[in-house]
Amino acid sequence: MVALVIALALFFDFTNGFHDTANAMATPIATGAIKPKTAVTLAALLNLVGAFLSTEVAKTVSGGIIREGTDGVQITPEIIFAGLMGAILWNMITWLKGLPSSSSHALFGGLIGAAIAGIGFGSVNLETLLQKVILPAIFAPLIAGLVAYVCTRLAYALTSRHDPETGSKLTQKRGGFRTGQIFTSSLVALAHGTNDAQKTMGIITLVLIAAGTQAPGTGPQFWVIAACALAIAIGTYSGGWRIIRTMGSGLTEVKPAQGFAAETSTASAILASSHLGFALSTTQVASGSVIGSGMGRKGTTVRWNMVGKIAIGWLFTLPAAGIVGALTALLVNTGVVGVLIAAIAGTGAVLFMFFYSRKSAVGHHNAVEVEEAGQAVRFAKKKAMARARAKAKAKAKAEASTKANATPQAEPESQTQAPADADATNSKETQR
Amino acid sequence: MKWLELLTVAGATLIAASTVVTLYALGVRLTAIAADAQQPSPGLKRSLAYLCFGLCGAAVLFGLYLIIPYFSK
């Protein structure tokens, strides 16, 4: 049972990684600041580093939502198993739909459902639930959206230049924001690594303590940290391209200045919240930022029906993961056969969704329409010259500096990637 | 309810993000000004631009400092 839970926890970490690549990397990919493959490599490395950086572990992952301890209930490996199952399945479903949704909320939902089914209604602390999950879910996108809106306005106001006499536009070099995006998105990726890998480490440690193989009150063992870091990095590297598509081009059209404003707001919101004690979900902050920056630029439309879909996804996260968690908990309570059935059904569902996704594969080559910008600048130079000579120049410069910055981390990647890129460009061409 | 904490987070986010964006945007604007054809002192503008970018980088490093618990203890 313990081994099974650890395997499941690591798989959850993996889904968490690929679900959340989009938070950090969707906008730089969309503006062409970083090439898609380079972006996920960078994010994966930073997640790996981030997971090792922080050794402070939350004693309980559920953070008091489930009453525990002497006066409450004991969380058993069975409940964690059921909770993880719910979280993983919901992560897979939202990934299939390309919806960015909070992995932590899915985990909370799964654990709550499992606890209710396995122990009873009294095991859930409703007030903590409201305070830790529901209110942040409302305010995270609002705060991030507002800040991103203000920042986008600021960025455009400060860089807008007009000739005082003729009123014609002067060069604005807004492409310069691309370079900045690399740093801000890296910050988001790093913050994600320090936060999210911790959850899985906490779970595994909890299970080990519950099983009696580790002394209570001790931190995670090194192999646990290493395994979690690796799992989240591999997950990030495999990239949730469907979600990147939604965040990068499904919500609104993202320009470099907007992307920079959105990334900065995301990074500040996450840092501020994790240091001032009002935890906000990375995913919800990032989505809110993208929407806010979409509203901040004149001439951009926000696709509100997509926003609605995402909001509905968030509403369902808790109950849906909870129901799966509850069902699994009921199955598991019947004994070993139940555990086997749950494990097999879960694996089957995940495999089914994986193969179903192959029908309309979304990969680095077609994740974001604008994604070609990263590669397109090469041939866009000619095209853009016709449109705006100055703009093209700024782009090329930004591209050059972007490359100079990006190559150190991406060296092994870029070699193997060259043919793939050519492929992507070709297929794009034929599609047109 | 932790309304005060919520407000603090919102305020801190707004201040931090707008500072970084303002600095970076000024940097971008100064780069653009320095690149103008009839610019009397492109060197000065350019170094001012780099100063802006540098301050912005410092803000990001401060963020890193906050993330990594090793430093904040």
pLDDT tens-digit profile of A337-395? 777 777 788 888 878 877 777 766 666 666 655 444 443 333 344 444 444 445 545 55
Which pLDDT value is given to residue A56? 53
Burial class (CB in 10 A: 0-12, 13-18, 19+), A324: buried
Cβ pair A155:B25 closer than 8 A = yes
Is some CB atom of chain B closer than 8 A to the CB atom of A269?
yes
Q: Which two tokens stand for residue A86?
A: 């719910």
> How far off is chain B from A28, nearest CA to CA, in Å?
16
Residue in chain B closest to A46 (alpha carbons) equals B64
Instruction: Specify the residue for token string 């981390």.
Output: A409
Cβ pair A187:B60 closer than 8 A = yes
Q: B45 lies in which domain range?
A: 3-72
Instruction: Specify the residue for token string 């949704």.
Output: A101
Q: Name, in order, each residue with C-beta under 8 angstroms of A10's C-beta and a sequence gap of 6 or more.
A: A200, A204, A227, A228, A231
Which pLDDT value is given to residue A146? 92
Going by C-alpha positions, the residue among A357, A375, A383 that lies closest to residue A428 is A375
Which pLDDT value is given to residue A71? 47
Which pLDDT value is given to residue A215? 67
Count of structural domains within chain B: 1
Q: Splitting chain A (432 residues) into consecutive groups of 10 residues, what average pLDDT does each group show?
A: 84 86 84 84 86 59 51 68 88 85 84 81 71 77 90 86 66 76 86 78 78 69 85 84 83 84 88 72 87 84 85 86 87 78 80 75 61 40 45 53 49 43 43 40
Which pLDDT value is given to residue A415? 43
Cβ pair B22:A154 closer than 8 A = yes
Q: Taking each helix axis from N to C terminus, what angle separates A2-31 and A282-296, rounded to the nearest 10 degrees? A: 10
| Confidence category of residue B37, pLDDT binned at 50, 70, 90 | low
> How far off is chain B from A269, nearest CA to CA, in Å?
5
Residue A12's CB: how many other CB atoms inside 10 A? 26
Count how many residues are written for chain A. Answer: 432
Going by C-alpha positions, the residue among A171, A401, A397 that lies closest to residue B35 is A171
Cα–Cα distance measured from residue A15 to residue A288, given in angstroms and rounded to the nearest whole number: 22
CA dihedral A135, A149, A298, A384 (to 10 degrees): -110
Going by C-alpha positions, the residue among A134, A155, A139 that lies closest to residue B10 is A139
Cβ pair A159:B25 closer than 8 A = yes
Count how many residues are written for chain B. Answer: 73
Which pLDDT value is given to residue A396? 55
Tell me which of A45 and B40 has the higher pLDDT: A45
Cα–Cα distance measured from residue A86 to residue B10, given in angstroms and rounded to the nearest whole number: 32
